[in-house]
Amino acid sequence: MNVDVLPRGTFGGEFRVPGDKSITHRAVMFNAAAQGEAVVTHALTGEDCRSTAACMRALGADIRFEGETVFVRGAEKFRDADCDCGNSGTTIRLLAGLVAGRGVTVRLTGDASLCSRPMERVARPLRLLGADVRTTEGKAPVTVCPASLRGCAVDTGVASAQVKSAILLAALGAEGETLVREPLPTRDHTERMLAAMGADIRTDGRGIAVRGGARLVCRDVDVPADISSAAYFLALGALRGEVLCRNVGVNPTRTGILRVFEQMGVRFSLENEREVCGEPVADIRVHRSSLRAVRLGKEIVPSLIDEIPVIALLCAFAEGESVIAGAEELRVKESDRIRTTADMIAALGGDCTPTQDGFVIRGKKTLAGGDVRSCGDHRIAMSGAVGLAASERGGTIEGADCVNISFPGFFGMLGGARA
């Protein structure tokens, strides 16, 4: 599906974007592996999270959707299963850890994009615990077979919340204690939720320690709005008007984009700050702003990895030359996001040079617009749509239906778009 996006001289309004994708994945998956029943409200119902639900059903859980509410009854015991993870890297990587050591044989696969992404980064550390994880030339399909696990110290090697989470989930079924260390802090939704559900887990200066043997107990979760989804409307507000996004999760491991806003001169404020189900939440208001160039390094990347395409787009409108480095993790997303982000900005009329681990972006006051190829990547499609709305003449997003992975209804909420 192609979608035409019209230019917008002004843009504003109040938005309630879909529930956080990372938290929805974990709320459904962890409750499906726990004892009892739970209700997950304001869940994201996009394709990736439905893939997680389908996999957990295949393993024996009872899961039912009613709008944005998900009813979960945990599986007493997992069963052997073939699990189709669709396009979801979170699903396949976390499940590899969750099913390890549970006495079942589980085959994990997905679509062509997912089967092209690296899986040894998860399989290698799981094998250190004794897991029997078999990849297909380092990629999916992945088969996890019965094995006894024993806790140990594990360095993730990459700053990836998916890799860290897979190890923590496997550690729940391991004998003794597992200590997980990562090169840079990554989003901590797994640690927060496992602790709330009864896991013996703690974080200190050495890393995250998990002692095996604790049985998880189901816990209701009210999912905050996803800051990654809010980022598109906040960015367009900074370029064209005033935007208020309500009930957004502002977990400090996810708010790198707000630190970038400060550096770029974006005028924003956090309102009605509070805590919901152990996660910090706020309303975020952004005003039209004059943007300046930034230099971002690897220390901030884990806290904004999903927002880098739209941050790069903002840099294309900023005064001066911006540099984003330390973001090589982008190359193993739904697309090679270093290449596809640079192509997206070039298609809009911007000046973006890809590097091995990021970009050099030379800002312009305006971008002409044009036709943007999504390359099947939801974040490229939505970032491109923001660029077209802020451009001089608009243009077309080719392959726009991929936004359903994380943000069904995005173009309707954006307005000024037609299929």
Q: Which residues pair with 139 in a beta bridge?
A: 136
Rounded to 5 degrees, φ, ψ at 98 are: -65, -40
Cα-to-chain-centroid distance, residue 293: 25
C-alpha distances out from residue 252 to 164, 246, 280, 304, Å: 17, 17, 8, 11
Distance CA 318, CA 246 (A): 26
User: Do 142 and 133 form a contact (C-beta atoms < 8 A)?
Assistant: yes
Helix axes 337-347, 378-389, angle to 10 degrees: 20
User: If phi over 0 gives left and psi between -120 and 50 gives alpha, with beta otherwise, what is residue 338?
Assistant: alpha
Of 226, 283, 306, 343, catalytic: 306
Question: Which residue type occupies 190?
Answer: T
Q: Residue 150 gets which letter from DSSP?
A: B
User: If phi over 0 gives left and psi between -120 and 50 gives alpha, with beta otherwise, what is residue 358?
Assistant: left
Count H helices and E strands in the chain, helices first.
Answer: 12, 24
Active site residue 336: no
Task: Give the containing element (helix H, strand E) for 135.
Answer: strand 132-136
| CA angle at 63 for the pair 62 and 69, rounded to the nearest 5° | 150
User: Do 20 and 253 form a contact (C-beta atoms < 8 A)?
Assistant: no
User: Do 20 and 29 form a contact (C-beta atoms < 8 A)?
Assistant: no
User: If phi over 0 gives left and psi between -120 and 50 gives alpha, with beta otherwise, what is residue 60?
Assistant: left
The DSSP string of 95-121 is HHHHSTTSS--EEEE--TTGGGS--HH
Q: Which residues are catalytic?
A: 306
